[in-house]
A and B are shown apart, each in its own frame.
Chain A
Amino acid sequence: ELKVEQNPLFLSMQEGKNYTIYCNYSTTSDRLYWYRQDPGKSLESLFVLLSNGAVKQEGRLMASLDTKARLSTLHITAAVHDLSATYFCAAPFRRGSRLTFGEGTQLTVNP
Protein backbone atom coordinates (compact mmCIF):
# COMPACT_ATOMS: atom_id res chain seq x y z
CA GLU A 1 0.00 0.00 0.00
CA LEU A 2 1.24 3.47 -0.82
CA LYS A 3 2.26 5.67 2.09
CA VAL A 4 2.69 9.39 1.72
CA GLU A 5 4.61 11.21 4.42
CA GLN A 6 4.99 14.93 4.82
CA ASN A 7 7.37 16.85 6.99
CA PRO A 8 7.24 18.92 8.88
CA LEU A 9 3.63 18.51 10.02
CA PHE A 10 3.67 21.90 11.70
CA LEU A 11 5.66 24.88 10.52
CA SER A 12 5.76 28.33 12.04
CA MET A 13 7.80 30.85 10.14
CA GLN A 14 8.33 34.57 9.93
CA GLU A 15 7.30 36.71 7.05
CA GLY A 16 10.05 37.13 4.51
CA LYS A 17 11.72 33.81 5.25
CA ASN A 18 12.15 30.82 2.97
CA TYR A 19 11.30 27.23 3.79
CA THR A 20 10.66 23.85 2.17
CA ILE A 21 7.98 21.24 2.85
CA TYR A 22 8.89 17.68 1.94
CA CYS A 23 6.64 14.91 0.65
CA ASN A 24 7.97 11.35 0.47
CA TYR A 25 5.99 8.46 -0.97
CA SER A 26 6.68 4.79 -0.62
CA THR A 27 6.11 3.23 -4.04
CA THR A 28 6.66 4.15 -7.66
CA SER A 29 4.41 6.95 -8.81
CA ASP A 30 4.80 9.14 -11.85
CA ARG A 31 2.71 12.04 -10.61
CA LEU A 32 2.17 14.10 -7.50
CA TYR A 33 -0.44 16.66 -6.47
CA TRP A 34 -0.32 19.54 -4.01
CA TYR A 35 -3.41 21.02 -2.36
CA ARG A 36 -4.02 23.93 -0.04
CA GLN A 37 -6.69 24.06 2.67
CA ASP A 38 -7.62 27.20 4.57
CA PRO A 39 -9.12 26.71 8.06
CA GLY A 40 -12.66 25.39 7.85
CA LYS A 41 -12.57 25.35 4.07
CA SER A 42 -12.16 22.75 1.37
CA LEU A 43 -9.05 21.65 -0.50
CA GLU A 44 -7.91 23.72 -3.43
CA SER A 45 -5.64 22.31 -6.12
CA LEU A 46 -2.25 24.03 -6.26
CA PHE A 47 0.04 21.99 -8.47
CA VAL A 48 -0.03 18.89 -10.60
CA LEU A 49 3.40 17.38 -11.26
CA LEU A 50 3.30 14.80 -14.02
CA SER A 51 6.86 13.68 -14.65
CA ASN A 52 10.28 13.32 -13.14
CA GLY A 53 11.97 16.68 -12.87
CA ALA A 54 8.73 18.62 -13.20
CA VAL A 55 8.78 22.05 -11.63
CA LYS A 56 5.79 24.34 -11.24
CA GLN A 57 5.68 27.84 -9.76
CA GLU A 58 2.84 30.05 -8.67
CA GLY A 59 3.72 33.27 -6.90
CA ARG A 60 5.84 32.50 -3.83
CA LEU A 61 5.31 28.73 -4.09
CA MET A 62 7.36 26.36 -6.19
CA ALA A 63 6.84 22.59 -6.37
CA SER A 64 9.15 19.96 -7.81
CA LEU A 65 9.09 16.22 -8.30
CA ASP A 66 11.89 13.65 -8.22
CA THR A 67 10.32 10.29 -9.03
CA LYS A 68 13.58 8.40 -8.56
CA ALA A 69 13.94 9.67 -5.01
CA ARG A 70 10.14 9.42 -4.52
CA LEU A 71 10.23 12.97 -3.24
CA SER A 72 8.36 16.17 -3.93
CA THR A 73 9.13 19.52 -2.39
CA LEU A 74 7.06 22.65 -1.92
CA HIS A 75 9.34 25.64 -1.53
CA ILE A 76 8.10 28.87 -0.02
CA THR A 77 9.96 32.04 -0.91
CA ALA A 78 9.68 35.21 1.19
CA ALA A 79 6.64 33.99 3.06
CA VAL A 80 3.67 36.27 3.64
CA HIS A 81 0.78 35.87 6.09
CA ASP A 82 -1.65 34.95 3.30
CA LEU A 83 0.21 31.69 2.80
CA SER A 84 -0.90 30.45 6.23
CA ALA A 85 -2.86 27.26 5.52
CA THR A 86 -2.52 23.48 5.56
CA TYR A 87 -0.75 21.99 2.56
CA PHE A 88 -1.35 18.43 1.42
CA CYS A 89 0.51 16.32 -1.08
CA ALA A 90 -1.11 13.29 -2.72
CA ALA A 91 0.01 10.52 -5.05
CA PRO A 92 -1.74 7.66 -6.85
CA PHE A 93 -0.59 4.17 -6.00
CA ARG A 94 -0.47 3.46 -9.70
CA ARG A 95 -1.75 5.16 -12.80
CA GLY A 96 -5.51 5.23 -12.63
CA SER A 97 -5.84 4.49 -8.95
CA ARG A 98 -7.21 6.78 -6.29
CA LEU A 99 -5.01 9.30 -4.53
CA THR A 100 -3.37 8.74 -1.17
CA PHE A 101 -2.97 11.93 0.82
CA GLY A 102 -0.25 12.93 3.23
CA GLU A 103 -1.18 14.11 6.72
CA GLY A 104 -0.82 17.73 5.76
CA THR A 105 1.60 20.45 6.84
CA GLN A 106 0.03 23.24 8.87
CA LEU A 107 1.89 26.42 7.97
CA THR A 108 1.63 29.57 10.05
CA VAL A 109 3.36 32.70 8.81
CA ASN A 110 3.90 35.25 11.56
CA PRO A 111 4.40 38.99 11.03
Chain B
Amino acid sequence: ETGVTQTPRHLVMGMTNKKSLKCEQHLGHNAMYWYKQSAKKPLELMFVYNFKEQTENNSVPSRFSPECPNSSHLFLHLHTLQPEDSALYLCASSPDGTGPYGYTFGSGTRLTVV
Protein backbone atom coordinates (compact mmCIF):
# COMPACT_ATOMS: atom_id res chain seq x y z
CA GLU B 1 0.00 0.00 0.00
CA THR B 2 1.62 3.22 -1.16
CA GLY B 3 -0.52 5.68 0.78
CA VAL B 4 -2.06 6.99 -2.43
CA THR B 5 -5.03 4.97 -3.66
CA GLN B 6 -6.35 5.17 -7.19
CA THR B 7 -9.57 3.68 -8.46
CA PRO B 8 -10.40 1.99 -10.67
CA ARG B 9 -7.23 0.09 -11.52
CA HIS B 10 -8.46 -0.63 -15.03
CA LEU B 11 -11.05 1.15 -17.13
CA VAL B 12 -12.33 0.51 -20.62
CA MET B 13 -14.59 3.18 -22.03
CA GLY B 14 -16.13 4.11 -25.33
CA MET B 15 -15.48 7.46 -26.94
CA THR B 16 -18.94 8.73 -26.02
CA ASN B 17 -18.82 7.64 -22.37
CA LYS B 18 -18.28 9.77 -19.30
CA LYS B 19 -16.23 8.33 -16.49
CA SER B 20 -14.17 9.54 -13.55
CA LEU B 21 -10.87 8.52 -12.05
CA LYS B 22 -10.42 8.88 -8.31
CA CYS B 23 -7.33 9.47 -6.23
CA GLU B 24 -7.22 9.52 -2.45
CA GLN B 25 -4.38 10.10 -0.02
CA HIS B 26 -4.28 10.14 3.76
CA LEU B 27 -0.68 11.21 4.10
CA GLY B 28 -1.50 14.74 5.14
CA HIS B 29 -0.13 16.05 1.86
CA ASN B 30 -1.36 19.31 0.41
CA ALA B 31 -0.24 18.98 -3.20
CA MET B 32 -1.67 16.50 -5.67
CA TYR B 33 -0.85 15.78 -9.30
CA TRP B 34 -2.20 13.98 -12.35
CA TYR B 35 0.27 12.44 -14.79
CA LYS B 36 -0.31 10.63 -18.07
CA GLN B 37 2.06 7.88 -19.14
CA SER B 38 1.65 6.56 -22.66
CA ALA B 39 3.53 3.60 -24.03
CA LYS B 40 7.10 4.46 -24.97
CA LYS B 41 6.67 8.09 -23.92
CA PRO B 42 7.90 10.14 -20.96
CA LEU B 43 5.70 11.07 -18.04
CA GLU B 44 3.41 13.97 -18.94
CA LEU B 45 2.30 16.29 -16.19
CA MET B 46 -1.37 17.18 -16.61
CA PHE B 47 -2.54 19.10 -13.54
CA VAL B 48 -1.18 20.33 -10.22
CA TYR B 49 -3.23 21.23 -7.17
CA ASN B 50 -1.87 22.96 -4.09
CA PHE B 51 -4.15 23.31 -1.09
CA LYS B 52 -7.14 22.44 -3.32
CA GLU B 53 -6.35 25.17 -5.82
CA GLN B 54 -5.27 24.33 -9.35
CA THR B 55 -1.84 25.82 -9.89
CA GLU B 56 -0.92 24.25 -13.17
CA ASN B 57 -2.75 23.02 -16.26
CA ASN B 58 -0.25 21.73 -18.75
CA SER B 59 -2.29 22.52 -21.89
CA VAL B 60 -4.55 19.56 -21.30
CA PRO B 61 -7.55 19.16 -23.64
CA SER B 62 -10.89 20.10 -22.10
CA ARG B 63 -12.15 16.52 -22.38
CA PHE B 64 -10.11 16.01 -19.20
CA SER B 65 -11.60 17.89 -16.26
CA PRO B 66 -9.93 17.73 -12.83
CA GLU B 67 -11.63 18.30 -9.51
CA CYS B 68 -10.06 18.65 -6.07
CA PRO B 69 -12.77 18.97 -3.40
CA ASN B 70 -10.24 18.78 -0.55
CA SER B 71 -6.56 18.12 -0.01
CA SER B 72 -7.13 14.37 0.29
CA HIS B 73 -9.11 13.74 -2.88
CA LEU B 74 -8.49 14.36 -6.54
CA PHE B 75 -10.68 13.37 -9.46
CA LEU B 76 -10.19 13.32 -13.19
CA HIS B 77 -13.46 13.49 -15.10
CA LEU B 78 -13.32 12.07 -18.61
CA HIS B 79 -15.69 12.66 -21.51
CA THR B 80 -15.60 12.13 -25.27
CA LEU B 81 -12.10 10.72 -25.16
CA GLN B 82 -10.08 9.62 -28.15
CA PRO B 83 -8.21 6.34 -28.63
CA GLU B 84 -4.90 8.19 -28.22
CA ASP B 85 -5.95 9.01 -24.66
CA SER B 86 -5.42 5.36 -23.76
CA ALA B 87 -2.62 5.37 -21.20
CA LEU B 88 -1.68 4.80 -17.59
CA TYR B 89 -2.92 7.72 -15.48
CA LEU B 90 -0.93 8.28 -12.34
CA CYS B 91 -1.86 10.35 -9.34
CA ALA B 92 0.81 11.61 -6.96
CA SER B 93 0.95 13.69 -3.81
CA SER B 94 3.58 15.62 -1.92
CA PRO B 95 3.63 17.55 1.37
CA ASP B 96 3.28 20.96 -0.23
CA GLY B 97 6.14 21.25 -2.67
CA THR B 98 8.53 22.70 -0.13
CA GLY B 99 9.63 19.55 1.67
CA PRO B 100 12.44 17.17 0.77
CA TYR B 101 10.31 14.07 0.32
CA GLY B 102 9.42 14.05 -3.35
CA TYR B 103 6.23 12.49 -4.55
CA THR B 104 4.25 9.45 -3.49
CA PHE B 105 2.56 7.83 -6.46
CA GLY B 106 -0.61 5.80 -6.63
CA SER B 107 -0.78 2.50 -8.48
CA GLY B 108 -2.35 4.13 -11.51
CA THR B 109 -5.44 3.59 -13.62
CA ARG B 110 -4.91 1.78 -16.90
CA LEU B 111 -7.35 3.45 -19.30
CA THR B 112 -8.32 1.98 -22.65
CA VAL B 113 -10.51 4.03 -24.98
CA VAL B 114 -12.30 1.98 -27.62
- A contact residues vs B (CB 8 Å cutoff): 31, 33, 35, 40-45, 48, 50, 88, 90, 92, 95-99, 101-104
Categorize the interface residue count of chain B.
Answer: 20 to 34
Q: Which of B28-59 contact A (CB under 8 A)?
A: 31, 33, 42-43, 45, 48, 56
Cα A58 to Cα B79 with chains together (Å): 43
Which A residues touch B22, using CB under 8 A? Answer: none
CB distance from B12 to the nearest CB of A (A): 16
Given contacts A42-B105, A95-B98, A104-B42, 13 further A-B contacts (CB under 8 A): A31-B100, A40-B88, A41-B108, A43-B92, A43-B105, A45-B102, A45-B103, A48-B101, A48-B102, A96-B97, A96-B98, A98-B45, A99-B102
Cα A51 to Cα B42 with chains together (Å): 26
Which B residues touch A31, using CB under 8 A? Answer: 100
Cα A4 to Cα B108 with chains together (Å): 23
A43, closest chain B residue (CB): B105
- Count A-B contacts at CB 8 Å: 51
CB distance from A86 to the nearest CB of B (A): 10
- Pair A42/B108 contact, Cβ less than 8 Å: yes
Q: A96-B98, A98-B33, A104-B42 are in contact. Are A45 and B107 (CB under 8 A)?
A: no
Which A residues touch B104, using CB under 8 A? Answer: 45
- Pair B106/A42 contact, Cβ less than 8 Å: yes
Which A residues touch B56, using CB under 8 A? Answer: 98
Which A residues touch B97, using CB under 8 A? Answer: 92, 96-98
List 30 A–B pairs whose Cβ atoms lie within 8 Å, in order of A's numbering.
A31-B100, A40-B110, A42-B2, A42-B90, A42-B108, A43-B90, A43-B92, A43-B103, A43-B105, A44-B105, A45-B102, A45-B104, A48-B101, A48-B102, A50-B100, A90-B102, A90-B103, A92-B97, A96-B96, A96-B97, A96-B98, A98-B31, A98-B33, A98-B45, A98-B48, A99-B102, A102-B42, A103-B42, A104-B42, A104-B43
